[in-house]
Structure 1
Amino acid sequence: MEIKQLKYFIEVAKKEHLSDAALELDVAQSAVSRQISQLERELQVTLFKRSGRNIYLIDEGKQLLTHATQMLDQFDTTVRLFREQSQANHYKIRIGYIDSYISQVLTLLIQTFEHVSTSIVEPMHMNEDEIIDALMTDKIDIAFTHLDNEIKNLPGLDIRPLFEAYYHIYVPKSDPLTMATNPPLIQLADQSIYALYPLPHSIKQKLARIVKSPIHTITSPQLATYLLNQQRGYIITASYHSLNKNEGDWTEISLAHTELKQTVCSVVRKDNNKQDIQLMLSTIKQLMNQEKSFH
């Protein structure tokens, strides 16, 4: 039993005439007659009584008409629901982002975009392991993530580098490292290193090749300040994270001169044809060109 058969059946039942039903359906009369015959064979019942040029429902046909009408109503409701949902999604830009400077400017980006667009933005924080898979499976429309060879080798992506993400360390003021100009990473080899917030995989791997002790992760600026004041080790974090300079006797040292850097990029599937997706990309470019203090 097909939806088309039920539609033809209901129209014939209403018109009680094959030709009139065919005219209403805008199909040939033979097509209507064929669908009704197929429906009767499939159900193994007679649905209509023919009388000259007219055609009338019998009891079995009246019973089917009740059920068929309910089925088509439910079908139409389902189709309408999914179309409305699809239309709504067409005007929703879903952004996945990792912990980076982007999280600092995301509010401004959303406000700027929604001020000139009928679409709305749905932001979602993600980790590096899931964000590209979410993009490729259409769970998000735009990914803000670190640019690496895996992303570069994926086909069908529009990749736009945005900025370089750098790192810095905090060390006690009495530490000899404060006397060095652009200290090399090898000077961290014998130190206890704490990461304030999780480091990207590639950054942590680079450090692990140099630092002898395990690199521990903490997520509290207050705890970071305590460890520094107690001279328990160094604190490393992204340059957009900072500690309150009034809370301890320590010094900030930039690592922008080292290999601890990553390119943050926006990634969009080239087959994404959502409403205002290009406007969003243009807004991202405009905003990032204006921002100069993300190191």
Structure 2
Amino acid sequence: MEIKQLKYFIEVAKREHLSEAALELDIAQSAISRQISHLERELNVTLFKREGRNIHLTDDGHKLLAEANKIVEQAEDTVRLFHNQSETNRYVIRIGYVESYTAQMLGLLIQTFEGQSDSKIEPMLMEETEITNTLLADQIDVAFMDLSTDLKQHRDLDTIPLFEETYNICVPKEDPIALATNPPLSQFKDKMIYQLYATSQSIKHTLEQQIQQRVRIITHKQLAKYLLTHNRGFIITPSYHIIDKPNNKWVEISLAHTELKRTICCATRKDNRKHDMALLKNTITTLLSRDATYH
């Protein structure tokens, strides 16, 4: 039994005339007769009594008509539900992002974009190990992430380099390295290094290779200040994070001259057809793109 057959049956039952039903449905009368015959054979009943050119529902026909109306109505409601849901989803843009400077700019990005568009943004913080696959699986629409070599090779994705993220290291003022100018990472070998806030695995791996020891992660500025004040270690931070220096107990050294850097990009699927995606990408470029050397 097919929905099409039930629709044909309902139209014939309503008009009690094959040719009028065929005209309304804009199909050949023979096609309607054939489908109703298939329906009768499948159900093993007679649905119409023929009297010359007129046809009338049998008792079984009346029973089927009541059920057919329910089935067709439910099918049409289901189609409408998914069409409406699909239309609603067109106006919801899901942004996944890894921890970076973009997190600080998301509020302004959302406010600026939604001030010009009917679409709404749903942001979510993600692990760098999952964000690419989530984007490829169409579970998010936009990804702010590291522009890796692997990412560049995905032909299904568009990537827009945004900015280069560099790092600083905070050093107790009494330590001799505080006087160094553009020190290489290897100069921090055998030093106790803490990373304030987790960053990408590639950054952590690069740092650990250079200093030849494990880097510890902390997540609170107060703890970072204590360690620096008591000369208990050095603190690595992204350059956009600032740790207040009470009484100049430590100095902040830029590591922008080292290999400790990453390029943050905006990645989208080429086949994404969400409403106002072009406007969103333009807004992202306007707010987040900075002149830099991209790797």
Q: Same fold (TM over 0.5)?
A: yes
Separation in structure 2 between the aligned mates of residue 229 and residue 162 of structure 1, nearest angstrom: 35
Residue 146 of structure 1 contacts residue 262 of structure 1 at CA under 8 Å; is this kept in 2?
yes
Separation in structure 2 between the aligned mates of residue 223 and residue 54 of structure 1, nearest angstrom: 90
SS at match of 2:210: coil
Following TM superposition, by how much is the alpha carbon of 1:3 offset from its aligned partner in structure 2, in angstroms? 1.0
Structure 1 residues 218, 248: closer, same or farther in 2, change over 3 A?
farther
Instruction: Tell me which amino acid in the other structure corresponds to 1:199.
Output: T
**Deviant stretches of 4+, over 4 Å:** 289-292
Aligned equivalent of 2:236: 236
Instruction: Tell me which amino acid in the other structure corresponds to 2:6.
Output: L
Instruction: Tell me which amino acid in the other structure corresponds to 2:182.
Output: N
Following TM superposition, by how much is the alpha carbon of 1:211 offset from its aligned partner in structure 2, in angstroms? 2.3
Structure 1 residues 290, 265: closer, same or farther in 2, change over 3 A?
closer
Q: How well do the aligned residues superpose, as a CA RMSD in angstroms? A: 1.6
Separation in structure 2 between the aligned mates of residue 213 and residue 204 of structure 1, nearest angstrom: 11
SS at match of 1:123: strand
Residue 172 of structure 1 contacts residue 250 of structure 1 at CA under 8 Å; is this kept in 2?
yes
- Residue deviations 1:224-268 (CA, integer Å, cap 9, x gap): 112222222111121112212238722211111100000111111
Instruction: Tell me which amino acid in the other structure corresponds to 1:177.
Output: I
Following TM superposition, by how much is the alpha carbon of 1:142 offset from its aligned partner in structure 2, in angstroms? 1.1
Residue 95 of structure 1 contacts residue 143 of structure 1 at CA under 8 Å; is this kept in 2?
yes
Residue 158 of structure 1 contacts residue 267 of structure 1 at CA under 8 Å; is this kept in 2?
yes
Aligned equivalent of 2:211: 211
Following TM superposition, by how much is the alpha carbon of 1:199 offset from its aligned partner in structure 2, in angstroms? 1.9
What percent identity do the matched residue pairs reach?
A: 57
Scaled by the length of structure 1, the TM-score of the pair is 0.94
Matched, 1:253 2:253: yes
Aligned equivalent of 2:69: 69
Separation in structure 1 between the aligned mates of residue 248 and residue 52 of structure 2, nearest angstrom: 101
Aligned equivalent of 2:172: 172
Structure 1 residues 291, 241: closer, same or farther in 2, change over 3 A?
farther
Residue 163 of structure 2 contacts residue 289 of structure 2 at CA under 8 Å; is this kept in 1?
no
Aligned equivalent of 2:105: 105
Instruction: Tell me which amino acid in the other structure corresponds to 1:6.
Output: L
Instruction: Tell me which amino acid in the other structure corresponds to 2:225.
Output: T
What is the total number of aligned residue pairs between the two structures?
A: 292
Separation in structure 2 between the aligned mates of residue 101 and residue 241 of structure 1, nearest angstrom: 9
Aligned equivalent of 1:14: 14
- Residue deviations 1:8-55 (CA, integer Å, cap 9, x gap): 111111111111111111111111111111111112221111121122
Separation in structure 2 between the aligned mates of residue 169 and residue 13 of structure 1, nearest angstrom: 82
Following TM superposition, by how much is the alpha carbon of 1:118 offset from its aligned partner in structure 2, in angstroms? 1.7
Scaled by the length of structure 2, the TM-score of the pair is 0.94
Aligned equivalent of 1:123: 123
Separation in structure 1 between the aligned mates of residue 242 and residue 184 of structure 2, nearest angstrom: 21
Following TM superposition, by how much is the alpha carbon of 1:141 offset from its aligned partner in structure 2, in angstroms? 1.1
SS at match of 1:55: strand
Residue 193 of structure 1 contacts residue 234 of structure 1 at CA under 8 Å; is this kept in 2?
yes
Separation in structure 2 between the aligned mates of residue 95 and residue 176 of structure 1, nearest angstrom: 44
Instruction: Tell me which amino acid in the other structure corresponds to 2:105.
Output: V
Aligned equivalent of 1:200: 200
Counting only pairs closer than 5 Å after superposition, residues 16-165 of structure 1 correspond to structure 2 as 16-165=16-165
Following TM superposition, by how much is the alpha carbon of 1:151 offset from its aligned partner in structure 2, in angstroms? 0.3
SS at match of 1:209: helix
Instruction: Tell me which amino acid in the other structure corresponds to 2:33.
Output: S
Residue 161 of structure 2 contacts residue 289 of structure 2 at CA under 8 Å; is this kept in 1?
no
SS at match of 1:210: helix
